[in-house]
Structure 1
Amino acid sequence: MKIIDAHLHYEKDAYFDEIARAAHHENSEEHLREQYVQRGIVHGIVMGNRPVSEVACHYPEFLSYCVGISDIEAFFAAPEASVKFVRRHLARRGCVGIKLYPGYQSFYIYDERLAPLYEIAAACGKPVAVHMGLTASEEALLKYSHPLVMDEAATRFRDVSFVMCHFGEPWFTDAAAVLEKNPNVTADLSGILEGKIMDFDAFLQEKRFYIERLKGWLAYLGRYDRFMFGTDWPLANLGDYIAFTKEIIPRAHWNQVFFENANRIYQLGL
């Protein structure tokens, strides 16, 4: 079975080095390439957070990327300049979408000042991926990353394809309602695990309440064509994440969730 990792991070710094070690990985291109080959992961999509002016950013050939809006205040101050850079990114072969970080930067994704960004996304046919749900920082504000915020954005900007990263965890009930109502919203299942799971069966039992509700809302929707596998590398162990996703997704839909959906949504042509 071929796999696409629809959500990872690719930065060389001390923070990512540390969390990679906790997941029994090494934060390096060589190790990531080796692990992808070993586990049948044929491609990955980096959620970028570099300045939009870095149009010549480079990633290995087995990775595509979403251009991240890393400085929302700069965007709001000079949207035309930022959109020009975003347009140049989206014209590159390896750029497959846009990434927003509302919880970390304290803005609502339905803000009308984002209209120029959404217009270029719709015109280029590229999705806008949004961090939704819990954050890694205590300084971030969850009111901006609650899944219900995406309902208003998806309703106001119907021509935009939104990706709800992390399925808004742990607000799965609300996330499911947003997907059910809005046909222009899909989701990835990244960011739910972290570190290395030493005893997988014990983990499933310990987190039974959480896992059963996640599985329940996925089954309630019954739209496995709108979910994508993702690891949030280097946050979690890759082998664990594949096993976990197989646990929450019925076998009949593995090919969709592990490969077909990301290939279609991000137009990878694989």
Structure 2
Amino acid sequence: MKIIDAHIHFCPGIESFRMLAEQAGHRYTEEHLQAEFSRLGIEYAVVMGNRAPDEDIPVCPGFLHYCVGLDSGWEQLDEQRLAELVEQHLRRPDCVGIKLYPGYRHRYVGDRRYAPLYELAAQYDKPVAIHTGATAGGMGLLKYAHPLTVDEAAAQFPQTRFVLCHFGNPWLTDAAAVMEKNENVFADLSGLLEGRVDMDTLFQENEGYFSLLRTWMGYAGGYEKLMYGTDWPLVNLEQYIAFIARLVPECWHDKVFYETAKQVYSL
């Protein structure tokens, strides 16, 4: 089975990422990542940028592409300069989209500062990936990360593709409703686990949650709009493949693990 990992973080120099990788049974190096991808049949991955657009210009090896991140350090830029910097990224063939962190930046998805970026994304036919759902740590604010906030932007910018990262978890119902309503909204299934787990025990102890997750993933034919992603280094890659394969009906594996990400990110 061919796989595209539609959501990883690879930002050398961030110590917390190195520690997470080790806890999940990995090393936080390009060599290790490439070896694991080769072993597991992962053809490409999309790196979600974690720096400001004026410094987030990675040199990606051929198996990695990236979304330019608006994580921190960009609010001080005026609107024109921000658009110029983001466009410089979007012109690069290895940049496949834009990544927003509204819950951490305390800014709604419909904020006017994002509007020129949505127009650029449509112009370059590259999606806008958005952190939706629970935030890590106490500084994130959930009201900005709720998947329902994406509905307004998706309706106002119908030519722009939007990705609900983490499927809006735990607001699964709302994420599914936004996807079903808006043809231009997709979701990735990253970040639903952390570290290494005992898979059988996990499913036994969380039977109710996984039943709900399956229900809303498949809502209104939703599997065709879902993409495999991990949020690596948060999880163990081999375990996460087995985890998603267990959740998604086998008839949808090609779509979820490969085809939809290839289409959405134009890989």
Range of TM-score over shorter length: over 0.9
Kept in 1, the 8 Å contact 2:74–2:82? The answer is: no
Kept in 2, the 8 Å contact 1:9–1:234? The answer is: yes
Kept in 1, the 8 Å contact 2:49–2:56? The answer is: no
Equivalents in 2 of 1:94, 1:191: separation in Å? 23
Q: Which moved more, 1:52-61 or 1:165-174?
A: 52-61
Kept in 1, the 8 Å contact 2:52–2:74? The answer is: no
TM-score by length of 1: 0.95
Equivalents in 2 of 1:226, 1:239: separation in Å? 23
Instruction: Kindly provide the CA deviation profile for residues 13-35 of structure 1, in whole angstroms up to 9, marking residues without a partner as x.
Output: 21011111111111111111111
Deviation at 1:249, TM superposition (A): 0.8
Kept in 2, the 8 Å contact 1:72–1:105? The answer is: no
Kept in 1, the 8 Å contact 2:56–2:68? The answer is: no
Question: Which residue number corresponds to residue 227 of structure 1?
Answer: 226
Letter in 2 for 1:131: H
Q: What does 1:16-27 align with in structure 2 at a 5 Å threshold?
A: 16-27=17-28
Letter in 2 for 1:58: V
Deviation at 1:55, TM superposition (A): 6.4
In structure 2, do the counterparts of structure 1 residues 250 and 125 end up closer, same or farther at CA, with 3 Å as the change threshold? same
Give secondary structure in 2 for the equivalent of 1:97. Answer: strand
Letter in 1 for 2:210: I
Q: What does 1:1-270 align with in structure 2 at a 5 Å threshold?
A: 1-12=1-12, 13-54=14-55, 56-70=57-71, 71-75=73-77, 78-197=78-197, 199-268=198-267
Equivalents in 1 of 2:69, 2:158: separation in Å? 21
Letter in 1 for 2:75: E
Deviation at 1:213, TM superposition (A): 0.4
Kept in 2, the 8 Å contact 1:110–1:156? The answer is: no
Moved over 2 A (4+): 54-57
Aligned residues with identical type, % of pairs: 50
Letter in 2 for 1:220: Y
Unpaired runs of 5+ in structure 1? none
Equivalents in 2 of 1:72, 1:87: separation in Å? 14
Instruction: Kindly provide the CA deviation profile for residues 141-193 of structure 1, in whole angstroms up to 9, marking residues without a partner as x.
Output: 00000011111111222221100000000110111111111111000000101
Kept in 2, the 8 Å contact 1:190–1:229? The answer is: yes
TM-score by length of 2: 0.96
Q: Which moved more, 1:47-56 or 1:238-247?
A: 47-56
Equivalents in 1 of 2:82, 2:113: separation in Å? 12
Equivalents in 1 of 2:76, 2:213: separation in Å? 37
Letter in 2 for 1:208: E
Equivalenced residue count is 265
Equivalents in 1 of 2:56, 2:99: separation in Å? 15
Please give the root-mean-square deviation of Cα atoms over the aligned residues, in Å: 1.2
Letter in 2 for 1:9: H
Equivalents in 2 of 1:220, 1:42: separation in Å? 28
Letter in 1 for 2:225: R
Deviation at 1:56, TM superposition (A): 4.3
Give secondary structure in 1 for the equivalent of 2:244. Answer: helix
Kept in 2, the 8 Å contact 1:55–1:85? The answer is: no
Kept in 2, the 8 Å contact 1:98–1:127? The answer is: yes
Give secondary structure in 1 for the equivalent of 2:52. Answer: coil
Unpaired runs of 5+ in structure 2? none
Instruction: Kindly provide the CA deviation profile for residues 222-256 of structure 1, in whole angstroms up to 9, marking residues without a partner as x.
Output: 23221100010100011111011111111001011
